[in-house]
Amino acid sequence: MKIYIIGAGISGSLIARELSKYEVEVHLIEKNPDVGWGVTKANSAIIHGGYDDPPGTVRAQFSSIGNKMYDQLSKELDFDFKRIGSYVVAFNENEVLYLKELKERGRKNGVTNLEIVDVKELKTKEPNINENAIAALWCPDAGITEPWEVAIAAIENARKNGLILHLSEKVVDIVVEKGKVKRLVTNKGEYKADIVINAAGLFADEIARMAGAEGFKIYPRKGEYILLDKKLNGLVNSVIFPTPTKTSKGVLVLPTVDGGILIGPNAVDLPVEEKSNLSTTKEGLTEIYGRAKHLVPGIDLSYTIKTFSGLRPENNRKDFIIGATKIWGFINVAGIRSPGLTAAPAFAKYIVEKIFPENLKVNLVKKKEFNPYRKRIPNMSYFNLEKWDKLVKKDPKYGKLVCFCNNVTEGEIVEAIKRGARTVDGVKFRTRASFGRCQGGFCGLKIIEILARELGISVEEVKQNYRNSWIIDGKVRI
Amino acid sequence: MRKEKVDVLVIGGGAAGLAAAIESANHGVKTILLERERKTGGVLNQCIHNGFGLHVFKQELTGPEFMELLWEELSKTSAIVKSDSTVLKIAPESKEVTVLSREGVVIYQVKSLIVSTGARERSLNNLGIPGARVAGVFTAGVVQKMVNIYNRLPGHNVLIVGSGDIGLIMARRLKIEGMNVVGVVEIMPEPGGLIRNVVQCLEDFDIPLWLSHTVTEIHGTGRLEGVTVAKVDGELKPILGTEKFLKVDTLVTSVGLIPQNGLIENFVEMDPINRGPVIDDLMRTSVEWIFAAGNNVAVHDLVDFVYEEGKIAGKYAALYALGEKLPGVKYNFKRGNNVGVMLPHRVTGEIPFKMYIRSKKILKSCEVKFNGKRFRIFNWKIRPSEMLDLHLNKFDAFSETTNVEVNELE
């Protein structure tokens, strides 16, 4: 039996890892040159408490379970996960009523430890919050992580356990015969396939159409963000939400796992043709700044490191679309917008443990030798200096700092390349080099040089990310 | 982890750090200079244009030539240079400095410390200009290094954003090397760099300078494909209807330097306007064993000034390490009318010193006053981009708190 997963985002990577626990041939196909570069790359990076989706929805069903799985998952895959809790802040009595509704919703979703706190308690933990706040809903289970690192870690671990990864490969057709999946056609070849799992993010509707599975429509909803300097570390200690509106959870203020501050997102629906429109806009950035400053007046844009935007795959059914279809062997994991990151470990398990045996009547056999552990690339923030000193003595490259903003050494960059980084962004998302305040001013050229050396290519061939993102044109003089 | 004792430790081997190490070693104390790059010299390595050294060496040198003179001076001293060595942290209570290099982690126990960590370039990303996130956007310093050190060009058609000195110099450099330099946009009504650079780098090479213009949007997928440029009003806001699209594959930014003080800013008194430590005429910070010199104290106009500061810091850090009692601060300066960047912030009154001031505004001509008493007249146009330098000794108007002002003359 051959299983093909389409899309190496959070959903695809966690499903791949789940399947790598079983005796079966699993392929993961990704059209980008690296993993986690779609929806996964740019979102709020929150592990949600699981209280705010309407009870009975698929989203609610998986997010409260998924939340609880992150402690174990982050230990096995060695990625950053901090359960810092979240506040939904109310500024008037109407909003306090809404907090009560949220709390009740949480109870129905199985989130029983929510608490409405008064402004005094809020202020002791979050002294920088707007002083007009009157109450807040405290959710101790909420957390933060780095979504791309979760995808990278899951795929590294899955590959150790047998997963076959195809990068820069785009699915162009799915051949179905007599109501069953037969073959998968890509720009590089044709493969016999028994089961296809559609985790194609923004493009999941197009993939479903190829298989002739029932129709749904994905449309992109843009969210813009501003990342602020680590100098503002401590401005907030937990995830700060405003009281939500009908369409959105609103603009948040939260710490990132490595000590910066992130504000955003707004929510702008784009036409279906704009599934690659990742540009930021003046209106959007102005809006999120205004809203974030309302929550936390100490937000200061002179500490801006970068602005960026992400696209969320909204769909016309207003819920996750997860499960088997009328085409045998074709499984949808579509419309995975927020809280998709939170829910992913839960629905990955559900697909393998429920959909496979119950809907497809496929009973997979567990591997005896599955190794659940993956180790992160060594980084100084997680080592004491004694241990780092020993590492340098073994490999002096760990003694040469390349990225000064985030303390990333040449050893880490070489290791990232060994693990699959092929571009400057590939190095950046694996090591945080050039993620900091100077935005590659000091390390950019050095990273290009190291990539060229390790990959045996010229510096002109090194790309920022995608195929046409060349950086260096050629020699000044021969 | 190895521990080592040292009298004077210098962090950063640019012009200030090299000068400091030379001076410190010449006072007979054990001096170590740490440089995080492969070799010392800092940005001088890539500044192959001339214009350096007129004040200090009385000749017009290129950056590498200026550096050669420093290396020659340094080689005659006992100062030890450790390159590829980066400071991870400074422990202010124990006076321990933790350093990472290929030999491992070393902890230096110091008597005095000189911080000469220079400045970094502000990146376009830091400005929050909307649009696509693409390859092909570089700071001027990065392109300077790419062209002059790596022997590589960044693209074909280039727009320079910001008219800081490095931006002006790179406009000329890229034009000479065959790139199509579309122009330089500057958001302010006046150029940000020295006038001599506007003339020698733009006018002499027919490169247009668009004052009161800014980039409002970045276009492209993967690589930069173009930018939208617009005129701005008196409040620096883009004027609707003035937008035009420029087809460029490369954007080079020169939008300001930021002093780097991450190692000391949490325990040394900082000046938010200079963005550097509060400093006295001995280049001493608020922590008596920590000295600072160069562009981390405040961004300077000339490497010569940075060099002079390094020498002062080197001398007094060495004397401190020798156990000499250094004079205390007697006069404090307070910013008055029109005073932006200013250093030093306070002086001992024991030695002659140089004071640097940036006017906040463009003035036709001006006078500098201390406590209301005129010290000097500048009979020419004064810009924020060009520092006023004043040679001072004890001045009779100084008092414990001395008000400094720069007034426009009619």
Residue in B36, B152, B155 closest to A401 by CB: B36
Q: Rounded mean pLDDT of A278-283?
A: 93
A392 touches chain B (CB under 8 A): yes
Least Cα separation, residue B154 to chain A (angstroms): 5
pLDDT (average), residues A408-431: 98
Catalytic residues of A: 48
What confidence score (pLDDT) does residue B16 get?
Answer: 98
Residue A246 has pLDDT above 80, yes or no: no
Cβ of A472 and B131 within 8 Å?
A: no
pLDDT of A248 above 80: no
Q: Tell me whether residues A469 and B134 touch, CB distance under 8 A.
A: yes
Average pLDDT over residues A247-271: 93
Q: Decide: A286 and A195 in contact? Cβ < 8 Å.
A: no
Q: How confident is the model at residue A207 (pLDDT cuts 50, 70, 90)?
A: very high
Q: What tens digit of pLDDT does each residue of A449-463 get? A: 999 999 999 999 999
The whole-number average pLDDT for the span A110-136 is: 96
Average pLDDT over residues A428-435: 96
pLDDT by position in tens, chain B (length 410)? 999 999 999 999 999 999 999 999 999 999 999 999 999 999 999 999 998 999 999 999 999 999 999 999 999 999 999 999 999 999 999 999 999 999 999 999 999 999 999 999 999 888 888 999 999 999 999 999 999 999 999 999 999 999 988 899 999 999 999 999 999 999 999 898 888 899 999 999 999 999 999 999 999 999 999 999 999 999 999 999 999 999 999 999 999 999 999 999 999 999 999 999 999 999 999 999 999 999 999 999 999 999 999 999 999 999 999 999 999 999 999 999 999 999 999 999 999 999 999 999 999 999 999 999 999 999 999 999 889 999 999 888 999 999 999 999 98
Write the DSSP symbol of residue B123.
P
Residue B272 contacts A, CB cutoff 8 Å: no
Q: B408 CA to chain A: closest CA distance, Å?
A: 30
pTM for the predicted model, two decimal places: 0.96
Assess whether pLDDT exceeds 70 at residue A153: yes
| A404 and B CB contact within 8 Å | yes
Share the mean pLDDT of chain A: 96
Query: Are A400 and B147 a contacting pair at CB < 8 A?
Result: no
- The whole-number pLDDT of residue A214 equals 76
- ipTM of the prediction: 0.95
| Residue keyed to tokens 């932006």 | B340
Nearest CA-CA distance, residue B130 and chain A, Å: 5
Q: Which residues pair with A268 in a beta bridge?
A: A222
Size of interface A-B (CB pairs under 8 A): 140
HEC string for chain A: CEEEEECCCHHHHHHHHHHCCECCEEEEECCCCCCCCCHHHCCCCEECCCCCCCCCCHHHHHHHHHHHHHHHHHHHHCCCEECCCEEEEECCHHHHHHHHHHHHHHHHCCCCCCEEEEHHHHHHHCCCCCCCCCEEEEECCCEEECHHHHHHHHHHHHHHCCCEEECCCCEEEEEEECCEEEEEEECCCEEECCEEEECCHHHHHHHHHHHCCCCCCEEEEEEEEEEECHHHCCCCCCEEEECCCCCCCCCEEEECCCCCEEEECCCEECCHHHCCCCCECHHHHHHHHHHHHHHCCCCCHHHEEEEEEEEEEEECCCCCEEEECCCECEEEEECCCCCHHHHHHHHHHHHHHHHHHHHCCCCCCECCCCCCCCCCCCCHHHCCHHHHHHHHHHCHHHHCEEECCCCEEHHHHHHHHHCCCCCHHHHHHHHCCCCCCCCCCCCHHHHHHHHHHHHCCCHHHCECCCCCCECCCEECCC
Residue of A nearest to B217 (CA): A281
**Kind and range of the H or E run holding B370:** strand B366-370
What percent of chain A lies above the pLDDT cut of 90?
96
pLDDT for position A69 = 98
* Cα B30 to Cα B192: distance, rounded to the nearest angstrom: 41
Q: pLDDT value at position A247?
A: 65
Determine, for residues A445 and B142 on separate chains, whether the beta-carbon distance falls below 8 Å. yes
Tens digit of each residue's pLDDT (9 = 90 or more) over B267-288: 999 999 999 999 999 999 999 9
Contact A277, A425 (CB under 8 A): no
Quick one: average pLDDT of A355-373? 97
